[in-house]
Amino acid sequence: MLAQSLIALLLPVAAASGWYAARKHYTRKYLTDFAHPLTRAYRTGINYLLDEKTDKAITAVAKILEQESEPLETHIALGNLFRRRGEVEKAIELHKKLTLDPGLSQSQKDKANYELGMDYMRAGLFDRAESIFVSLSDTKTHGRWASQHLLQIYQQQRDWHKAIESVQTLRPYAKPRNGETAAYFYCELAEEAMSLHRLKDARDYLSNALADDPLCVRASIAKGKLELGNGEEKQALITLKSVEYQNPVYLPVVLPLIRQCWDRQGNEREFIAYLDHLYEAFGVVSAAVERADRMRQILGINAALDYLLPILESRPDPIGISRALAFLSEDSQYASNKIRRLCALLQELASDQHQFQCKHCGFGAKELHWRCPSCQYWGSIRPTGYLAVTPISEAEETTA
């Protein structure tokens, strides 16, 4: 009897619960299928985008435009789809129409203008893009990104003065995306001035570069070259040796310039001591090879090879080995036709190697670029192999 009573009490509760669940299910189904066609259209468009079916995504979004009462966001999305697809003229037409809509607020027009500026950039119409981004650079919502795009435009146009202004504008927000600094742009201006023989202007630009970034290796190298060309060997030596504390990675790059400074002063002993310092402190193999070459001229081939071979055994490198073989091939007592042939092959192998590589994207180059030709990142290309710097302590730890 008790069980029957409990069943009698629970049956109405179960019936009510079933009715409520069914009502909730059919209400949701109605809203999805009939009351909210825009939701389904949005979902369809997003799925097409995820599948990279841009044409179908555009069609889906166009259906939304036919039904939606406030189409700003959707118009912008459709314009972006056109831009992504490469139909920049359609994107420009759509976004431009929004900027002229009297029903939009100023913040909405700013948003449409920002996208229009992006369209112009994609189309290569930099003057029009610049005009829009300049007008947006003081706005709270778009100021940072407008300044970032202006920086891109000015670099594309090689307008380094305006690029410097853009970098300085961006400083309160964050670092520029591609390693841009005012110091690099001052160096670009200095190179242009040097090409026009405006040496005083070049010096001023390089001073500005080092004032902006005291660790700018590029500015020190350019300044050292300028001083060396003007017969200021002592000052050039001081400038070039500053690379040690700026970034010792670039010491192999400045070594030939430092050699010129000491050669002109005729102080061989100090130069050899400096080469020893570079190898002992920073593991610069090219300094050790230069040291061996000086020993060969003074003490002979045996002494040079006795010094160099242990170094090359611990840090094998095609260019260093080819230089050692070249020592042998110069002396008939040691040289043979086979050694000369091996030396030529090794030199050819070494010449095909990339001596510089971008740490950002891995791009390899045979000469130093201050801006990576591949990823457009500034100051990311570093010496490799024979020109690389490997501290002795690190090498010994690795060997151990």
Identify the pLDDT of residue 51. 45
Lowest mean pLDDT among 65-69, 215-219, 322-326: 65-69
Identify the pLDDT of residue 182. 95
User: How far is residue 382's CA from residue 363's CA, in Å, rounded to a whole number?
Assistant: 10
pLDDT in tens, 374-397: 899 998 888 876 556 654 443 333
User: How far is residue 88's CA from residue 129's CA, in Å, rounded to a whole number?
Assistant: 13
Average pLDDT over residues 315-330: 75
Residue 281 buriedness (CB in 10 A; 0-12 / 13-18 / 19+): middle
11 pLDDT exceeds 50?
no
Q: How many helices (H) and strands (E) does the chain have?
A: 21, 3
pLDDT in tens, 19-46: 455 554 544 444 344 444 444 554 444 4
User: How far is residue 23's CA from residue 162's CA, in Å, rounded to a whole number?
Assistant: 65
pLDDT-based confidence at residue 342 (cuts at 50, 70, 90): low
- Could you tell me if 178 and 186 are in contact, meaning their C-beta atoms sit under 8 angstroms apart? no
- Could you tell me if 360 and 177 are in contact, meaning their C-beta atoms sit under 8 angstroms apart? no
User: How far is residue 116's CA from residue 110's CA, in Å, rounded to a whole number?
Assistant: 10
User: How far is residue 265's CA from residue 123's CA, in Å, rounded to a whole number?
Assistant: 56
Q: Which runs of E-coded beta strand occur in the chain?
A: 356-358, 364-365, 381-383
- Could you tell me if 96 and 72 are in contact, meaning their C-beta atoms sit under 8 angstroms apart? no
Identify the pLDDT of residue 81. 79
Identify the pLDDT of residue 175. 74
User: How far is residue 219's CA from residue 210's CA, in Å, rounded to a whole number?
Assistant: 7
Residue with tokens 């000015």: 154
Please give the structure tokens belonging to residue 151. Answer: 């920086």
| β-pair partners for 357 | 364, 382
Identify the pLDDT of residue 117. 92
pLDDT in tens, 75-86: 787 778 788 888
Count the helix, strand and coil residues of the chain and give each as a percent rounded to the nearest 5: 75, 5, 25
